[in-house]
Amino acid sequence: MKNKEFTEISNENGYTAKFLNYGARWAEMLVPDKQGVMEDVLLGFRNGDDYEGAEEKYHGAVIGRYCGRIPNGSFEDENIKVKLPLNEAGKNHLHGGKNGFHQKYWNILPGYTSKNSVGYSLYSKEVEEGYPGDLEVRVIYTLTNENQIVFEVKAVPSKRTILNITNHAFFNLSGCVADLSFHQFSINGDRLSQDANFILTNNIIKSKGLQKVLLKSEVSSAFLLKKSKNVPDAILSHPASGRYLKLFTNQTSIQLYNGFFMTGTDYGKKGVKYHPNMGLAIEPQHLLPHKLKVVSANETYIHRTIYQFGVDGHM
């Protein structure tokens, strides 16, 4: 049986982050408030084994091969015909399947691991969870002295396939001591409408400027990003603590989820029950109605997202 191993990295400003080889998870992020008090702003667990037995399977994990929902687990184009196992209510293929990347023990890459970075690799064999081709994946997390977590993914398939990789960290800038009710969130994107099963329809709801999202009750919203110059793709803030998170990504879209399926079964790092609206997953990815992300054989898939942390009134 493989061991679950945490790796801690830090920067010169006292920010620290922890990562777990099980699921290549982002497990902890210590950020100061406006009084200088450092608190963890990610939902999760102290014990690595708790991730495996949790009700919410995706805390902080790298999601793949294909994040999000594929209706009926089916996809085909002129070169690919895919039928994937249905792991959500017998209707959809969700987040790469029951044994997706979140369930894998990733290898630590010594050449990419240092005081301020950690690297992981995974070899996914052909037809694993039904996907075509072998796949080599590399994930690098870097904590910069600008207080950014840079999340970088490179993946190369041996055959033409579908591929869409993200990170599923749940953020709570209060330090995870209260729910998201007193957070503020805005996104530079147009809403992608969804049906009752959270499948995208053909309707795109246009908006001007940044669109605010109320973080209450049920949030499972998708947005097509506008990509305005020098404008963050998304901003999460918590005025009481002064903490904020600005997100920049090379992906086309973002899926939001506030954990409304959580039932209070999971107890987090501070013994807090994880109920709906305790954390916000901000999942950069490829999202377009009825159009999955296709990658050719030997083509390098690249995902790069920057999570910029800060405190109001401070650099």
DSSP letters of 5-40? -EEEEE-TTS-EEEEETBTTEEEEEEEE-TT--EEE
- What gap in Å lies between CA 18 and CA 10, rounded to an integer? 9
Residue 301 counted as domain residue: yes
CB–CB of 80/161 below 8 Å? yes
Does residue 1 lie within any of the structural domains? Answer: no
Tens of pLDDT, residues 149-176? 999 999 999 999 999 999 999 999 999 9
What whole-number distance in Å separates Cα of residue 156 and Cα of residue 135?
6
| pTM of the full structure | 0.96
Residue 205 CB partners (closer than 8 Å, separation 6+): 190, 191, 192, 193
Number of domains in the chain: 1
Query: What integer pLDDT is reported at residue 80 of this predicted model?
Result: 82
In a domain, 56, yes or no: yes
**DSSP element (H, E) containing 194:** strand 189-194
The continuous run of DSSP H or E covering 53 comes out as helix 48-53
- Catalytic residue IDs: 168, 283
Asked if the structure places residue 92 within a domain, the reply is yes
Residue 294 pairs in a beta bridge with: 162
Residue-level pLDDT, tens digit, the chain, 315 residues: 689 999 999 999 999 999 999 999 999 999 999 999 999 999 999 999 999 999 999 999 999 999 999 999 999 887 788 899 999 989 999 999 999 999 999 999 999 999 999 999 999 999 999 999 999 999 999 999 999 999 999 999 999 999 999 999 999 999 998 999 999 999 999 999 999 888 899 889 998 889 999 898 788 999 999 999 899 999 999 999 999 999 999 999 999 999 999 999 999 998 999 999 999 999 999 998 889 999 999 999 999 999 999 999 765
pLDDT of residue 314: 64
Q: How far apart are CA 260 and CA 177, in angstroms?
A: 17
Residue 150 CB: number of other CB atoms within 10 A? 17
DSSP bridge partners of 28: 18
Q: Structural domain of residue 58, as residue ranges?
A: 6-311
The phi, psi pair for 107, rounded to 5°, reads -85, 135
Q: Which residues are paired to 20 by β-bridges? A: 6, 25
Distance CA(125)–CA(304), nearest Å, equals 24
Task: Say if residues 52 and 46 touch (Cβ distance below 8 Å).
Answer: no
Percent of the chain as helix, strand, coil, to the nearest 5: 5, 45, 50
Instruction: Examine residue 237 and state whether it is found in any structural domain, yes or no.
Output: yes
HSE-CB at 253 with a 13 A cutoff on CA atoms is 24
Domain annotation covers residue 297 = yes
Q: Map tokens 């969870």 to a residue.
A: 129
| Cβ pair 115, 141 in contact under 8 A | no
The CATH number of the domain holding residue 129 is 2.70.98.10
**Amino acid at position 4, single letter:** K
Residue 78 has a pLDDT of 77
Assess if residue 292 is contained within a domain. yes
Closest CA to 102 of 168, 19, 170: 168
